[in-house]
Amino acid sequence: MKKIFTAILFCVTGLLLMAAEGDTTWVNLNESHLDWYGRKDQQVTFPDGSKTYQRIMMFATIGCPVGGCSGWDYTNKMEVRHNTGEIDSTEIFINSFQVDGANYDTINFDTDTTYTYFFNAGTGLTDSTANSLLEVINFGVTQNSSFAIDTSYFWPANYWNYSYNGSGTIVDSIVVVGDSTAISAQLSYYNLFDVIENYELARIITPYGSYYADDWKHTWLFDVSDFEPLLHDSTVISSFYGGWQDGFTMKLDFAFIEGTPAREVLSIENVYSSGMGGYTYGEVGNPDVIEESLVPVQVNYDAGSIAGKLRVTHSGHSFGGNEDCAEFCQKNYYVKVNSFNQFSQLVWRDDCGMNPLYHQSGTWIYDRANWCPGEICITREHNLSPFITPGSTVDIDIDMDTYNYNGNAGFTPGYIIESQFVQYGSINYENDASLERIVAPNSDSYFNRYNPICGKPVVKIKNGGSETLSSATITYGAKNATKLTYEWTGSLEFLEETEVELPVDTWTNWAEGDSSGLFEATISNPNGVSDENTSNNMRTSNYEQPPVWSSSFYIWYVSNNAASETNYAIEDEQGNVVFQSVAGSNNTTYKDTMELAPGCYQFKMTDTGCDGLSFFANNDGNGLCRIMENDGAFTIIENFENDFGCEISQWFTVGYSTGNIELKEVDSELQLFPNPTYGIINLGAIINNYQNVEILIQSTLGELVYKESRKSTSNFTTQVDLSNQPTGIYFITLQTESETLTKKVALNR
């Protein structure tokens, strides 16, 4: 398992270094335990709105509770529950009386004692006993409530009593007739309640987390500045978890960064809000059913507004039947403004195989309808300003591609859709270039596919001014190193952003002499003039030194059953290819020996099938890739994750070591899949030394249900069948003379 940890220092210094010391107000929520389908609310006190904030950032940290994370991908909606200030009501109907707590339309009763007959076996005669009193409560109502008027007690009536002979046989009967009858009237009153609107701040899909340890955590960052009108004073923040099992933990933290925003948010209002249940798509016999929910909505575009934007977070769920909709089918939505179609958008993510959370225990590599397991649902933004006039009403309508579901999956597909109309004031700056983030070098786990580096740094910049950003100066380097300067040119309109690769001659250009582990980048001189907003010009990231490899090593590569999909290469820091693999044969071992001059290099392996060298849900089999020290002792320098999706890479240096070669101590690893399993488990193990190996499988009660002894080289694979065991959790242990590796697996039968 590859552990992922949250880099808190990076979050603080790298993404919030926008204002002076003390200008950021933090609002920290308690950690929630997301254990079954439902909402977890927290009452929160935000700033009172008396200050302006250039940005409001939300950190969402998902982790494993004690006992481990769920093994399934579930939807998480983070919401602000906005009290609109409006009051609504529901009419409540009640009976005018209740008898022993139950409602009756009519009752018969007696004002004197009534009796019930029974056969007395001791005397052989018919006997009787007095009935229990009936409690009758009479009610009245006001406009907004009900109340008890009085309570009376009567005896039951309108039933049959029976007479018995000496053997207990019924010989006669008589009806007990009451002396009174009451008929209930129907009363009504109105139950008043505050009107609460849920606004989705962000949406995350949980990873397949069976492999993750109890201390696993991962943080996503969201800019929630558009919701500023709702994030004032006392309100409720909610995490709605769509999982039908335990679960995950969720920790939300908000950072209010003082300053002048690029433009003021005047208002935000929901246009569509499907909630967790979503809108049904392509129902059998009614393919246009989703349009019954996505009806045109009229909004007021205020006279004082300068710009209007539509936010749409749109994700497809459930699959099966024709086209595997809506999770695995590629469909479009269309935005109509005042009845004219202005935008179309494919509801899809095609980058799941590049997920920073790899590997996972399920089908994490499969592309889906705007989500990947362990990733966010992307919010699309549509600028409506060119099509609407301030001071007018606007009709907004979202339509979907038509789809006819054939009903063969057993459940109906649907889309979770949240959409808001945001109105803005004028742009506050003409020339404002911001340095949004440092992609590399950066030790934050979200950027782990690109780090650590020794090559060219990568940053993302953004135009926050009304003037087109055509040039800027970027200064960069490690904190204690001599800074480099790059003159960027391009074309960015207001709020457009782009990634910039910063040139270096050698790695020592930006890192030499630094021991702080901090990288700094600053942007200035937008369009050759002074930046009007300097608070967002600088970012800092934590970085790690890339490993130092020997100049002489070899690549040990074992192909799987789909060798034609996999290629690997070594490039220098300028991107020049110094080694390129050739197409190989299936299930074959290759040894490529490298002799490299001092410098900075990147090893990169790509898989065109985006299923790595090992993936449980196909027939490609298992391969492996290691970097081995060329010392005759089989010393492992780097052992790559097999289930890596589309690509895996490693930067390294040769000849920069001040002492001995820094050989990497590779942890032994036990891999198993699928998890959960229906019986068959594929085991793979990586061990540093040649040992006799025992595989032990125990139940949660400690019962040994499987044992196997094997000889190992430095890795092996095997298959275990637990189909004869009952459903439950089992612990699989790989044991040698020097180490013990254990993982748990869920067996479902």
pLDDT tens for 97-144 read 999 999 999 999 999 999 999 999 888 898 999 999 999 999 999 988
479, 516 Cβ separation under 8 angstroms? yes
Residue 729 CB neighbour total at 10 angstroms: 13
Q: Each residue of 586-630: pLDDT tens digit?
A: 989 899 999 999 889 999 999 999 999 999 888 888 888 999 888
Amino acid letter, residue 311: R
713, 692 Cβ separation under 8 angstroms? no
Is the backbone peptide bond immediately before 676 cis, with ω within 30 degrees of 0? yes
Can you tell me the mean pLDDT for 502-512?
A: 84
Can you tell me the mean pLDDT for 465-478?
A: 96
In 3-state terms, what secondary structure has residue 291? helix
What's the pLDDT at 13?
A: 39
Distance CA 53, CA 7 (A): 25
Among 591, 600, 604, 671, which residue's Cα sits nearest to residue 634?
Answer: 591
Query: Who wins on pLDDT, 685 or 234?
Result: 234
Query: Who wins on pLDDT, 421 or 669?
Result: 421
DSSP state of 667: P
What's the pLDDT at 711?
A: 67
Among 509, 521, 516, which residue's Cα sits nearest to residue 455?
Answer: 509
> Is 702 exposed, middle or buried (CB count within 10 Å of its CB: 0-12, 13-18, 19+)?
exposed
Confidence of residue 20 (pLDDT cuts 50, 70, 90): very low
For the chain, the average pLDDT equals 88
Q: Each residue of 56-83: pLDDT tens digit?
A: 999 999 999 988 899 899 999 999 998 8
Calculated CA dihedral for residues 238, 244, 250, 254, nearest 10 degrees: -30
- Angle subtended at Cα 58 by Cα 346 and Cα 349, rounded to the nearest 5 degrees: 20
Can you tell me the mean pLDDT for 547-563?
A: 91
Distance CA 302, CA 304 (A): 5
447, 541 Cβ separation under 8 angstroms? no
420 has a pLDDT exceeding 50? yes
What's the pLDDT at 604?
A: 96
422, 308 Cβ separation under 8 angstroms? yes
Domains, the chain, ordered by start: 1-87+197-261 (2.60.120.230), 97-184 (no CATH), 264-428 (2.60.120.230), 433-542 (2.60.40), 552-654 (2.60.40), 669-747 (2.60.40.1930)
What's the pLDDT at 84?
A: 76
- Tell me the CA end-to-end span of the chain in Å, nearest whole number: 25
DSSP state of 677: B
And the tokens for 530? Answer: 């002074």
Q: Each residue of 676-722: pLDDT tens digit?
A: 777 778 776 666 554 677 888 888 777 888 888 876 555 566 778 88
Tell me phi and psi for residue 44, to 5 degrees.
-130, 140
165 has a pLDDT exceeding 70? yes
Can you tell me the mean pLDDT for 658-671?
A: 46
CA distances from 587 to 76, 270, 621, 642 (A): 41, 55, 9, 14
556, 510 Cβ separation under 8 angstroms? no
Query: Who wins on pLDDT, 76 or 515?
Result: 76
Give the list of residues 6+ apart from residue 306 with CB closer than 8 angstroms, or none: 263, 385, 390, 424, 425, 426, 427
- Whether pTM > 0.85 for this model: the answer is no
Tell me phi and psi for residue 563, to 5 degrees.
-60, -25
Alpha-carbon radius of gyration of the chain: 34
Confidence of residue 665 (pLDDT cuts 50, 70, 90): very low
In 3-state terms, what secondary structure has residue 459? strand
User: Percent of the chain scored above 90 by pLDDT?
Assistant: 60
Query: Who wins on pLDDT, 478 or 743?
Result: 478
What's the pLDDT at 2?
A: 32
What's the pLDDT at 630?
A: 85
User: Percent of the chain scored above 70 by pLDDT?
Assistant: 91
- Candidate from 92-106, 275-289, 715-729 with smallest mean pLDDT: 715-729
Distance CA 152, CA 134 (A): 8
Q: Each residue of 242-266: pLDDT tens digit?
A: 998 888 999 999 999 999 999 999 9
Query: Who wins on pLDDT, 338 or 285?
Result: 338
Q: Is the dihedral of CA 359, 360, 363, 368 positive or negative?
A: negative
And the tokens for 329? Answer: 């089918």
What's the pLDDT at 525?
A: 97
What's the pLDDT at 673?
A: 65
Confidence of residue 664 (pLDDT cuts 50, 70, 90): very low
Can you tell me the mean pLDDT for 13-21?
A: 42
And the tokens for 314? Answer: 């749109």
Can you tell me the mean pLDDT for 408-430?
A: 92
Can you tell me the mean pLDDT for 401-425?
A: 90
- Candidate from 185-199, 214-228, 317-331, 482-496 with smallest mean pLDDT: 185-199
146 has a pLDDT exceeding 80? yes
The beta strands (E) that lie in 68-111 are given as 75-95, 97-99, 102-103, 106-110
Confidence of residue 18 (pLDDT cuts 50, 70, 90): very low
Distance CA 122, CA 118 (A): 12
736 has a pLDDT exceeding 80? no
